[in-house]
Chain A
């Protein structure tokens, strides 16, 4: 212990003596540790974090499967069956049901808002074993209570504990706030903002046919999954006998309860970033190890003296490793600070209104696990970068050094090792550069892809209708009234509305009868959108044929008319005029619709997605999904200039009406591609750091080589080498290392960039232009890094080098 303390003291003295080396090493390591810790936090929060359920191994999901259910697909459970299980199945300590989410208009708690509330049976929290962070969870049979998510409590109520006991109105129905859930409780998905009691009427209890519940249960401690399944098989048979119409042929499946799977594309992005930081960390480690090797040469004398005085090799290695661990510890502190700042930036970039892709991202933080990870990583990095140089340095031959300073042989060994390290750095840097370049190009192509509408000078605002106040005809009148008011606002050129807007993460899919020319009897998938007259003009979607809906058509009792996009017109009428045609079975009661117009194709779900056939209907003829209703307001100038006037226009019609997500269409598009932008930016930053570190690495190796070869360069100069000859010699050495690294990097990159395929748009993972461009950039940077020591080498005075006089 005393020895280690002495080593620590000596290490600190050494660092004070070499502030440049110390600062560069700590900063370099901090970059690697910080980036890795930051991305680890994202991985931990989004992918690894286990739900805060007590004894989660006892939790099971139960669902019902029809004979026609495809393997792997799950079906929900009817209220009648659920009540039966809850009452009669003893293998479970508790059975709870929930519905994924419902949109509700929230009033009575500040500005009217729209919230995602998940209806759950009151015993759900007890079954999961989750206690309230503040207040309490539901009592049995409680109906008019609400539990808030920690995140919504923080964001909407500023973490005010006095919210407990207050009454909120959800769609006009009153609920008392009784508790706040723990911060890491995300059920059934991260976007749930509150939980309300799920209650069943007598009719629900008797209903075994309509399956709309998800069920989670806790096994009794002595019961296995297999036993529970056997019991449920019996229950299924009994229910089939009791309710043959609803349950005949249905089976019940019991499976371990798992958290919802994170959106695949988000998972791929996180893995790509994780791969990038691992590469960056390896570059950092190679760089610092290389510096420590060079430093080992400078300290040969000290090490030889220590060895001469009786220090064993193990003791010498320990001393040197203690130094590198101390460096890494200091870097770890810097890394944690960097990671915290970086995560704050990443979180600030997560869209506020993207409802699907942002699961769990708002909860990313530097938690205890991340601190533990940073600590462990710092220790491992310290040992990793220090061990090899320490083993090398401790191999100094005492007698040789004391006689001749032993420079030539040991120096050559170290130079080889340093060269190998820098070659690895270059290879890894090339992989990062290629990956970042592919992602950046992909992002640029996405950003430059036409959307099919004009996003400039376009304000969007969601007005989720208070369904409890408006019947379908009333809702159409409400929107008509609001639109009229908005259109009269100075600076507004046109306005329209749709039941959902492109790029918001939602779409409505329709299964339409196949066209006559298609496969008979089948269906085709089309996007569906309810729109008001004026929507296409406001969005800037041109008509190719026909006309817009009229106000007379935007009524529930009006003749059924539709507008289609070009893709749909091509599918059904193969380039012939679509206007005036009848589209069968798309209207209520299976009636046909008359096509009154064809609009240009526009993107629906995302910029990368293929344009699907799309069917537009007058909103008032089918006012469904009013919770996503969004106005599109085309303005003469900055669209946000009229935002307040638009809000007032809505509130003049109904002061309780939530008016949310006031933003420009450009912001909507930016948010729809935030993932690509963030991943391209982060990869770009990592690649830039990698490039700089690779340049520093090659500079270090060539500098070290030049200092080691001063005598040789002097001989060459004495024999007639010009400065240019020496310059070329040194640069050639650097170029050789670079090219070896580039070849290794190409091989690695060709293999690894394949994993980016799902994230790329408009560029292939083996795009030759990208590869060539990044190789040129890397080689040019490496040459520049070589040039500085090469110039120094060219100035070597043969007299000094040969030590005349």
Chain B
């Protein structure tokens, strides 16, 4: 396998256990997952199945309890805080369900924010990147607005621009339509599809099958494990019974 064909993300036997008081909660149990460069993957499953935990580990917001995780062929499961912050900043673009824009910053400043954490990036470069990202999502005309002056759909497009501005290796979207009405939700999904067509690697968490269909591949999680689609249906039926 050549380096170009190597998966962007490779996860093997990943486990995440949460400890609260004397209770152990196994959020992920022996997850294996591989995402190739340019792939658009949707992760779905019922509430509490571990899909957001998995996404946060992929996004280096959290660390696994056990298992291996390689990003761009480099093991990242045991990095320190500063190194994880550096990789998040350069390799990963986040799109959150609740947008997570900073209310006191303008649209422009919000999109510029991750670039300000890159050392020695000239402001002219930052500006170019910000404007490109905003134009890409159709929000360049609102760059002096504050998030509270935008609709939910517009805020999510700004969040997408912020994720794009850093030119990351992968976009991680956690229920990106969860706080939007269906029209705005559909628009955001179209935007993600367009980005994928332009070559972006996307990993999206959703529980809505309509939006999951936009992805090339769907990964199903149930009780912290990756399962096949048929198995998921069976498990869910069993659970209902």
A: residues with CB less than 8 A from B are 408, 412, 711-712, 715-725, 798-799, 802, 804-805
Contact = CB atoms under 8 A, between A and B. Distances in A.
Interface string B6-36: 0000000000001000000001000000000
A804 B117 contact: no
B176 interface: no
Contact of B90 (A711, A720, A725, A799): A720
B86 to A, nearest CB: 7
User: In the complex, which of the residues A711, A717, A719 has the most CB atoms of chain B within 10 Å of its own CB atom?
Assistant: A719
A799 B56 contact: yes
B89 interface: yes
Interface string B41-52: 000000000001
Contacts, number: 66
Contacts of B53: 804-805
B56 A720 contact: no
B61 interface: yes
A718 B98 CA distance: 14
B86 A804 contact: no
A805 B47 CA distance: 10
A716 B89 CA distance: 10
A140 to B, nearest CB: 85
A725 B82 CA distance: 10
Contacts of A412: 104
24 contacts: A408-B103, A412-B104, A712-B102, A715-B100, A716-B117, A718-B61, A718-B88, A719-B113, A720-B85, A720-B88, A720-B90, A721-B117, A722-B81, A722-B86, A722-B117, A723-B81, A725-B85, A725-B117, A798-B61, A799-B56, A802-B96, A804-B56, A804-B174, A805-B52
Contacts of A721: 85, 89, 117
Given A717-B85, A718-B61, 18 more contacts: A408-B103, A715-B100, A715-B101, A716-B102, A718-B59, A718-B88, A718-B94, A718-B100, A719-B162, A720-B86, A720-B88, A720-B118, A722-B86, A723-B85, A725-B85, A799-B62, A804-B52, A805-B27
B103 A715 contact: no
Contacts of A802: 61, 96, 100
Given A408-B103, A723-B82, A804 B61 contact: yes
Label chain B's interface by main secondary structure. mixed
B61 A799 contact: yes
Contacts of A804: 52-53, 56, 61-62, 174
User: In the complex, which of the residues A712, A715, A717, A718 has the most CB atoms of chain B within 10 Å of its own CB atom?
Assistant: A718
A184 B107 CA distance: 72
Interface residues of B, number: 29
A721 B90 CA distance: 11
Nearest to A803: B98
A413 to B, nearest CB: 13
B114 A719 contact: yes
A715 B162 CA distance: 12
Nearest to B117: A720
Contact of A720 (B18, B89, B96): B89
Contacts of B102: 712, 715-716
Nearest to A717: B85
Contacts of B162: 719
User: In the complex, which of the residues B81, B96, B174 has the most CB atoms of chain A within 10 Å of its own CB atom?
Assistant: B81
Contacts of B118: 720
Nearest to A794: B81
Nearest to A721: B117
A805 B82 CA distance: 23
Contacts of A712: 102-104
Nearest to B103: A408
A716 B166 CA distance: 14
Contacts of B85: 717, 720-723, 725
A721 B94 CA distance: 13
Nearest to A408: B103
A705 to B, nearest CB: 11
Nearest to B102: A712
B86 A719 contact: no
A719 B95 CA distance: 10
A420 B103 CA distance: 21
A634 B96 CA distance: 87
B27 A720 contact: no
Contacts of A715: 100-102
A712 to B, nearest CB: 5
B88 A716 contact: no
Nearest to B166: A720
Nearest to B83: A722
Interface in B158-197: 162, 166, 174
B118 to A, nearest CB: 8
A716 B113 contact: yes
Contacts of B90: 720
A143 B166 CA distance: 104
Contacts of B103: 408, 712
A152 to B, nearest CB: 70
Nearest to B114: A719
Contacts of B56: 799, 804-805
A720 B89 CA distance: 4
A563 B104 CA distance: 81
A804 B27 CA distance: 12
A542 to B, nearest CB: 69
A723 B117 CA distance: 11
A805 B54 CA distance: 10
A798 B117 CA distance: 16
Interface in B53-79: 53, 56, 59, 61-62
